[in-house]
Structure 1
Amino acid sequence: MTDMVRAMNPTAAITNAEQAKAAARASAIAIFLGVIWGAIGLAWMMGPGAEVMQAAMAEATAESPGAAGMAGVATSMAIGFGAFLLVVQLILGLVQWFKPNIVIPILFTVLVVYGLGTGIWGMVMANQMGLEAAAGPAWQVYGGLAVMVVELILHIAGIRGASAMNKFRDAQAY
Structure 2
Amino acid sequence: MTNWIKAANPLATTVGVDEARAAARMSSVALWLTAAKDVVLLVALLGSIPQASAATTSTGSNVATMTLAILGVSALVQIAAGLFQWVRPGTMIPIIAGMLTAYALYEAGMKMAGGASALAVISVVVMVLALILHIAGTRGAAALEKTQKPA
Length-normalised TM-score, structure 2: 0.91
- Does the C-alpha gap of structure 1 residues 7 and 70 become closer, same or farther in structure 2, counting only changes over 3 Å? farther
Runs of 4+ with >6 A deviation: none
Residue 17 of structure 2 corresponds to residue 28 of structure 1: no
SS in 2 for 1:68: coil
CA distance in 2, matches of 1:68, 1:45: 19
Following TM superposition, by how much is the alpha carbon of 1:54 offset from its aligned partner in structure 2, in angstroms? Answer: 4.1
Equivalent pair of 2:53/2:62 in contact (CA under 8 Å):
no
Q: Which has the larger radius of gyration?
A: 1
Quote the residue 2:11 is aligned against: 11
Gaps of 5+ in 2: none
What root-mean-square deviation, in Å, do the aligned CA atoms of Structure 1 and Structure 2 show?
1.9
Percent of paired sites with the same residue: 32
Letter in 1 for 2:73: F
CA distance in 2, matches of 1:10, 1:88: 24
Letter in 1 for 2:63: A
Gaps of 5+ in 1: 59-66
Residue 78 of structure 2 corresponds to residue 82 of structure 1: no
Length-normalised TM-score, structure 1: 0.79
CA distance in 1, matches of 2:51, 2:10: 39
Q: Deviations over 1:69-110 (max 9, x none)?
A: 366833222212221111111100100111111000000110
User: Number of paired residues?
Assistant: 151
Quote the residue 1:121 is aligned against: 110
